[in-house]
Amino acid sequence: MTVIKHTDSISAKDNLVLVVTAKTDISKQGFSAAELAYVKKQIAAEEHIINVNQYERRVTIYVEEKKKEAYQTLEACRKAGNRICGVMNTAKVEAVTIVDLVGNAENILALAEGMALGNYQFLYYRQNDIKKLANSLKTINLNSKKVKADDVKHLQIIIDATCKARDLVNQPVNHLNAEQLAKEFEKMGKEAGFKVEVFNKAKITSLKMGGLLAVNRGSIDPPTFTVMEWKPKNAKNKKPYVLVGKGVVYDTGGLSLKPTANSMDEMKCDMAGGAVVGCTIYAIAKANLPVHVIGLVPATDNRPGMNAYVPGDIITMYNGMTVEMLNADAEGRMILADALSYAKKYEPALAIDLATLTGAAAAAIGKYGIVTMGTADKRMHDALKKSGEHVFERLVEFPFWDEYADLLKTDIADMKNIGGPVAGAITAGKFLEKYTSYPWLHFDIAGPAFINAPYDYKPKGGTGVGVRLLVDFLSNIKG
């Protein structure tokens, strides 16, 4: 875990990252005449990251990049932080001090954020050469008159929560089934101080959550339904915000086995939405944000064994609606539908579900953003888009026309669970819409939640996408 601290002192042996503009006077920063000449030459050549090896320490100069939009400038800082993190790890540096010579707190925090997120590793199951594999960087010190102690504390919480989500997504199902996922949420609740209640299979059966039970029929492991709640006395909102996360801890596609070669290899990630929900509530509780939030995570694996449900089965959902199941690989919407119906009891100001739901969403926009749609008003959607830009987890709104719901019609039930070969991400959203009666948004994170190679400060594997976005949004709500 990377530790971020505020410091007022700098020693002659500290490894430094000097944050400057092209016009900043750096003549008093301990450079020799030759080093100073080299740095100035690099700045004139419009280099933004300049490394100086002073043998006893490393000094990196970061020349701030000014982009067209403020959020793009912040992202440039994060990317630079990730690159600098790589330099420090290559040099086996254990601690580095970021020195603010510009006076821009937000950029300094973004630089540290990129370094810390880029420093993440998942080494739980590596036994050989662990010392060689592990990154050396442990501590990032911030030396800035503009950055406050509370800013550093808040950033540390966000980093920790995002990395927790990454850890959960990276865990294989033989170490993280539905029951174990629920236990992880319970641990987080005890640490951060939020309430956690876990429904076992008997409770789920008594509630008649038909969608969750149907998907679970192919597994020997029981399902869980986790309810998390953070309700501080000074909450700004009268009605809660409800977060719903898909918790499919492994997805074979059920009896509709995934047809694409190697497509099951990454399916431990199919609970990424659930991880985001739990880790977001962990973060807002640790930060003591004055907002009432409830998290719901239905969890199971989806396998073709036991008494697995089959195409053509009619499933009665928690709200009493019937579904003709025609594709067992469209299981996420089945368990989310029950959770969204359950959310009605809370009369939410807004509900957001997060799920690695469709390959169609990933195919449409790749790893570069989150597909979204829903019934919430423009004000709410715009606020989330603004947070998405601020943390660079951008939202792409898809059309949500009523005509798409026609693709879910069937002669023998209230609806079917797939819509056909076109608009797969949208018809999945239209399916979920039938189970909501309150302001609601659907986030399909199938593209960015799990990636096959490092991308900037996002590691190979689980990225934790969604945590930073939701924490930013919930930090800025008015009521």
How many other β-carbons are positioned within 10 Å of the β-carbon of residue 230?
A: 27
In angstroms, the CA 2 to CA 316 distance is 47
In angstroms, the CA 125 to CA 264 distance is 20
∠ Cα 25 30 35 (to 5°): 80
In angstroms, the CA 350 to CA 405 distance is 22
β-pair partners for 166 = none
User: In angstroms, how far is CA 310 from the centroid of its own chain?
Assistant: 32
Quick check: is 258 catalytic?
A: yes
In angstroms, the CA 109 to CA 94 distance is 19
In what side-by-side order are the strands of the sheet with 16-20?
3-6, 139-143, 95-100, 16-20, 58-63, 49-53
CA dihedral 177, 180, 184, 189 (to 10 degrees): 120
Closest CA to 430 of 453, 470, 402: 402
Closest CA to 136 of 87, 170, 99: 87
CA dihedral 142, 144, 147, 149 (to 10 degrees): 60
How many other β-carbons are positioned within 10 Å of the β-carbon of residue 421?
A: 8
Marked catalytic residue, from 258, 344, 367, 386: 258
Sequence-ordered alpha helix ranges (H) in 258-331: 272-286
Closest CA to 475 of 300, 237, 206: 237
**3-state DSSP assignment of residue 188:** helix
Quick check: is 23 catalytic?
A: no
In angstroms, the CA 372 to CA 334 distance is 18
Marked catalytic residue, from 83, 286, 333, 416: 333
In angstroms, the CA 162 to CA 80 distance is 19
∠ Cα 194 199 202 (to 5°): 165
In angstroms, the CA 197 to CA 57 distance is 50
Closest CA to 319 of 299, 297, 356, 344: 344
Q: Which residues lie below 8 Å from residue 301, measured CB to CB, with a gap of 6+? A: 173, 177, 178, 216, 219, 221, 248, 249, 250, 251, 252
Residues annotated catalytic, as ranges: 258, 333
